[in-house]
Amino acid sequence: MSKTAFVFPGQGSQTVGMGKDLFENSEIARKIYGLADEYTGMHLSRFTFDGPAEILKQTHITQPALFVHSYILFTLLGDTIKADYTAGHSLGEYTAFTYAGSFNFENGLKLVHKRGELMRDIGQKQKGTMAALIGLTQQQVTEICESASGKLIVQPANFNCPGQIVISGDVEAVHSAIEIAKSEPYNCRLAKVLEVSGAFHSELMRPAADELRVELDKSPIANSNIPVFSNVEAEPVTDNEIIEQLLFRQLYSPVRWESLIRNMINDGVTEFYEIGAGKVLTGLIKKINTEVKLYNISNFDELNKFLNR
């Protein structure tokens, strides 16, 4: 029997103006944005709708903005489409656990907001960066990181899809890895530093993870109602104690997106819905498997198509 999965985007998918059409057309959306402003203690809705982009892309604003946008979309979708499994990319994993019932909206949003603040703060204290390497295998990227690290840190951070891997670590080590990747025998097709405020999903995030664990310990986490395929293990999880451990580890561990999607497909998923801003995840899934059906629900018009079909 074929299964359906919802996937939720992470940082980098945000665009100024996302969610404004939902706010204008839905009383529920207006209420949720009002609560989001209250829970985060900032004008999150205004930053989301009006930007500027320089503000919206700040980690502690981007993360709750994306979380709220996806949350409103799946709330308005209701039971029109039900997912058998779910997952999210980095920040999107919190949205997935909220969809699956492990967090309520308030707890999920407060955790996401705190996570963004911790990641911003550690990025300011410990300068790090990330880079995308295109056209190399997982083994090659691992070798490159080992060669470039020395006394510094650089490691694979996102295994996104075949030939697209992101590395993360100390600025000097990441730049060294880029030079190695471009040279013989690797001849990397493209190696590009990303515009990020820290070395996310690397050991440099350990201090932030330790502080996040304190917040996770305080936050109510329920067993999930459906399996969530985790970033860290790429396997399904429903147990609340394991969920807490995985979210702690996620901050300094690579996102195993390619393996996660392959495991979902092996478990019978034939339809993927990306719920939230952009089309990053459906683009990655298309490169992982060309057979599955892919759908995007990112705005009011796309939502309405599914509500009225």
For the segment 230-253, the average pLDDT, to the nearest whole number, is: 98
pLDDT at 256 over 90: yes
DSSP tag of 255: B
> Which of 262, 255, 258 lies closest to 291, judged by CA?
262
pLDDT at 85 over 90: yes
For the segment 82-89, the average pLDDT, to the nearest whole number, is: 98
pLDDT at 55 over 90: yes
**Predicted pLDDT of residue 1:** 83
pLDDT at 195 over 90: no
DSSP string over 43-84: -HHHHHHH--HHHHTSHHHHHHHHHHHHHHHHHHHTTSS--S
Q: What percent of the chain has pLDDT over 90?
A: 97
**Predicted pLDDT of residue 111:** 98
From the candidates 102, 201, 230, 298, which is the catalytic residue? 201
Residue range 10-24, pLDDT digits in tens: 999 999 999 999 999
Known catalytic residue at 176 = no
Q: Count other C-beta atoms under 10 Å from residue 75's C-beta.
A: 16
Residue range 118-151, pLDDT digits in tens: 999 999 998 999 999 999 999 999 999 999 998 9
Model pTM above 0.85: yes
Q: Supply the CATH classification number for the domain 127-193.
A: 3.30.70.250
Give the model's confidence band at 265: pLDDT under 50 very low, under 70 low, under 90 confident, else very high: very high
Strand-strand pairing, 228-229 and 164-170: unpaired
pLDDT at 255 over 90: yes
Domain with CATH 3.40.366.10 in the chain: 3-123+203-307
Known catalytic residue at 253 = no
**Predicted pLDDT of residue 218:** 95
Residue range 28-41, pLDDT digits in tens: 999 999 999 999 99
Domain with CATH 3.30.70.250 in the chain: 127-193
Q: Which helix (H) or strand (E) holds 192?
A: strand 190-193
**Predicted pLDDT of residue 309:** 81
Give the model's confidence band at 49: pLDDT under 50 very low, under 70 low, under 90 confident, else very high: very high
Taking every pair of Cα atoms in the chain, the longest distance, rounded to a whole number of angstroms, is 58
For the segment 256-284, the average pLDDT, to the nearest whole number, is: 98
From the candidates 90, 102, 253, 259, which is the catalytic residue? 90
pLDDT at 62 over 90: yes
Q: Supply the CATH classification number for the domain 3-123+203-307.
A: 3.40.366.10
Residue 37 CA to residue 191 CA, distance in Å, equals: 38
Give the model's confidence band at 298: pLDDT under 50 very low, under 70 low, under 90 confident, else very high: very high
Q: Which helix (H) or strand (E) holds 38?
A: helix 27-40
CB 166 within 8 A of CB 158: yes
pLDDT at 197 over 90: no
Q: Rounded mean pLDDT of the chain?
A: 97
pLDDT at 296 over 90: yes
Give the model's confidence band at 114: pLDDT under 50 very low, under 70 low, under 90 confident, else very high: very high
Q: Tell me the CA distances in angstroms from 104 to 100, 107, 145, 271, one per residue in order.
A: 10, 6, 39, 26
